[in-house]
Amino acid sequence: MRSLLDFIARHSYAFLFILLETLSLVLLFGLNDRQNASFMTSANNVSGKVLEWRTGVSQYFGLRKENALLIEENVRLREQLYAIADSALNRYADSVGQGRVVVARVIDNSVRRDDNYITINKGRKDGIEPGMGVYNSCGVVGVIMVCGKHYSVVLPVLNSKTSISCKVKGSDNFGFLEWTGGNPYIAQLKDLPYHSDVNCGDTLVTSGFSSVFPEGVPVGVVQEVERLSNAYTLKVTVRLAAEMSNLGWVYVDAKTQDEEIVELFQQIR
């Protein structure tokens, strides 16, 4: 206690100054409305900055939780979207009498190999057979290659063995879409007649000349047209409609082939 009293005695002038300064400030801002308003405004600005900084810090450390909530919400929205799309596609398939559409989830995919493959979680049990077309909401994905009871392997556009008949939208001239490797977003349209009216920006769709895809499924957009002087066809570079590196759900066109056509081809063979 004696040490405390000695400390106060040694700094009595400083304590007296602080006391008088505090008293004067209280009298100044407490008895004068203008000065009081100025003080409150300044104090609110400072406290606002402090609260804003504290909120920013707390939000930063809560980003992980916010991201988790957003992901859960996106999953729910995507499930609703796929359910609506599936219902619409099934109604369309039934209306044109071409069978039904099967919705499948992609469980394995590759895009960087010379010959890529996709695995989906639907098979013969779900009515899927080899040769059926696979596409998503953006466009063509590939063709069913082999089927198991519960799973199937898809031969995608990004495979050298894939050749899909397609045409320029609004035209009857058709060619075959093939992938030559490298860029997973770009393919080539081959065997398109030299006199075809095709320009950059044109949309390519399936021709409907095979039992794999119905007519009009989006394939891609023309990026470049090269007219070779020593050839009878055009070299067309196509940007694929479906983003093959980001496949979640796909649709399998599980329509039934016309038995008479199948029988005729068997006779030819």
The model's pLDDT over 12-45, given as tens digits with 9 standing for 90+, comes to 777 777 877 777 766 665 666 665 556 556 555 6
Question: What is the Cα–Cα distance from 188 to 179, expressed in whole angstroms?
Answer: 6
pLDDT at 172: 84
Q: Tell me the C-alpha distance between 185 and 80, whole Å.
A: 28
Compare 6 and 120 and report the one with higher pLDDT.
Answer: 120
pLDDT at position 255 over 50: yes
Query: In whole angstroms, what is the distance from residue 214 CA to residue 62 CA?
Result: 49
Predicted local confidence at residue 248, as pLDDT: 82
The angle at the Cα of 151, spanning 252 to 91, to the nearest 5 degrees, equals 25
pLDDT of 267 higher than 80: no
Could you report the per-residue pLDDT of 68-114, keeping only the tens digit for each?
677 567 656 655 665 665 565 555 444 444 446 788 889 999 888 88
Which pLDDT score is estimated for 262?
Answer: 58
- Cα 80 to its chain centre, rounded Å, is 16
Q: Rounded to an integer, what distance in angstroms lies between the CA atom of residue 247 and that of residue 225? A: 28
pLDDT at 98: 47
- Average pLDDT over the chain, rounded to an integer: 77
pLDDT digits (tens, 9 = 90+) for 207-253: 888 778 888 889 999 999 887 666 677 889 999 999 998 888 888 88
The pLDDT of residue 96: 40
Count Cβ atoms within 10 A of the Cβ of residue 117 and give its class: 0-12 exposed, 13-18 middle, 19 or more buried. Answer: middle
Domains of the chain: 2-61 (no CATH), 98-256 (2.40.10.350)
Q: How many CA atoms lie within 13 A of 11 on its CB side?
A: 9
One-letter-per-residue 3-state SS of 23-70: HHHHHHHHHCHHHHHHHHHHHHHHHHHHHHHHHHHHHHHCHHHHHHHH
Q: What share of the chain is helix, strand, coil (3-state, %, to 5)?
A: 40, 30, 35
Copy the structure tokens of residue 135. Answer: 């596409």
Write the pLDDT tens digit of every residue in 123-173.
999 888 898 899 888 899 999 999 999 999 999 999 989 999 999 988 888
Closest to 114 (Cα-Cα) out of 51, 70, 156: 156
Q: Two tokens at 11?
A: 């700094």
Report the 10 Å Cβ neighbour count for 97.
8
